[in-house]
Amino acid sequence: MKYLLAIIGFLLASPFVAVADQPNLVLILADDLGFGDVGYQGAPDIKTPHIDRLAAQGITFTNMRANCTVCSPTRAALMTGRYADRVGVPGVIRTAPENSWGYFTPGVPTIADRLSAVGYHTAIVGKWHLGLQSPNTPNDRGFDFFHGFLGDMMDDYYHHRRGGINFMRRDREEIDPEGHATNLFTDWAIDYIRQRQSDSKTPFFLYLPYNAPHFPIQPPAEWLEQTKVRFPELDAKRAQNVAFVEHLDHNVGRFLDALDEAGFREKTVVAFSSDNGGSLPHGQRNLPWRDGKQSHYDGGLRVPFLIRPTDAELAGTKCDYRGLTFDLAATFIDLAQAKSDPESDAVSLKPALDGKTMPQEDRELYFVRREGNNRYAGGAYHAVIRGRWKLLRNDPFSPLELYDLRLDPHETNNVIGKHSKIANQLKASLRRHIQQGGRVAWQP
């Protein structure tokens, strides 16, 4: 009841107000897509013409990181514009309670709540991964429409189960569709776009989070065969990933074409990113950055990040602003002229979308992940970036490391023994972040 009252209170404080000239907003999120696994960033073996098209038509942000090195925390941050542990999600939310390391705090307004308050129709098509039941399903958290998968990963892209449980839903109804999940999510997103044509005066927000290319790496057979013909000497794991990413790119292209055909191109802002870096054991690539998914080295955090604004004159431009995935929440709220969150940790990228220079304040970036297997034993590990310096560790028990990103962007030389004063300053900041996150329950 208290969570329901909190949502009602938010809506009362932010009455429905339609605002002129609101753009439609689309956020496409890939799952575990490596920084070096897209064509526009130099992938030597993967062709991603449709993601590359977004880059050519919009702004490439060259210096962005995911909020976390794994799924749920980035998604919680993206939905709220707050650091993930401040909304109860320091780790992955899973089916089994004993192996779940987050609980998305009910009552915290989401981007969907805020956009709904200014007249947007809000939808999610794809992977949710922030709760399996009320009060934390998409329809409970501000979305008018949900067509997708509640859970974390699928055991099979064709059978859509997780541990034998069907988490496919249309709103609150369990469904059991046939087909590859990437194709299904694209079909459903296109259906949604076509439905919005009948009410073109109402702006929409579509969140399209794919579960590809998250393992199991399972491209359709014909896509894998094409890759093997093209690269007969390619390692089997790499070949599967190449085919999987190219199949995802094909579906992104199908969706973008449908958006254009529906007449929404000139009034729709489209953003594209990934929830974290690629998984090295599954043949994914994050070059030139060190390591991959689960790691606080930049291979686990650096992600592709594109925004196609409504201003066509910005096509093909680049922005080197250093930010995080959840800045998209602040940006979309800003573009919609919706009520901002006084507790937000995110920064709006709207100046860049207006062709202006982003403010160059010395912004601090914070990262946390909690996990439960033997390497982590339920503990959390953290990282913080301030200016040229990055303090990190990759499990709760290893010593902290310090890197000078200006001189050593690929994090090869740990200098914590040479810069104790800098390290202590960052440790003090880290303590404050941990204390703030510690005020929020992460178990139900």
Residue of 415, 358, 361 whose CA lies nearest to 390: 415
Q: Is 253 in a helix, a strand, or coil? A: helix
Alpha helices, DSSP H, located in 262-323: 298-301
Q: CA of 403: how far to CAs of 143, 231, 366, in Å?
A: 41, 38, 15
* Contact (CB, 8 A) for 78 and 67: yes
- DSSP helix/strand/coil, 332: helix
Strand order in the sheet with 380-386: 364-370, 380-386, 389-392, 401-404
Q: Are 275 and 262 in contact (CB under 8 A)?
A: no
Phi, psi of 229 (to 5 degrees): -65, -40
Catalytic residue among 50, 68, 121, 129: 129
Tally of CA atoms within 13 A in the half-sphere of 348 that contains its CB: 18
Q: Give start and end residues of each alpha helix (H) in 139-217.
A: 181-196
User: In angstroms, what CA-CA distances link 103 with 2, 92, 335, 435?
Assistant: 16, 9, 29, 18
Residue owning tokens 């076509």: 194
Tokens of 11: 């809506």
Amino acid letter for position 70:
V
Q: Is 334 exposed, middle or buried (0-12, 13-18, 19+ CB in 10 A)?
A: middle
Whether 159 is catalytic: no
Q: Any catalytic annotation for residue 50?
A: no
Question: DSSP string spanning 254-298?
Answer: HHHHHHHHTT-GGGEEEEEEESS---GGGT---TTSS--TT-SSH
| Active-site residue identified among 50, 68, 71, 319 | 71
Residue 273 backbone phi and psi in degrees, to 5: -160, -170
Active site positions, annotated? 71, 129
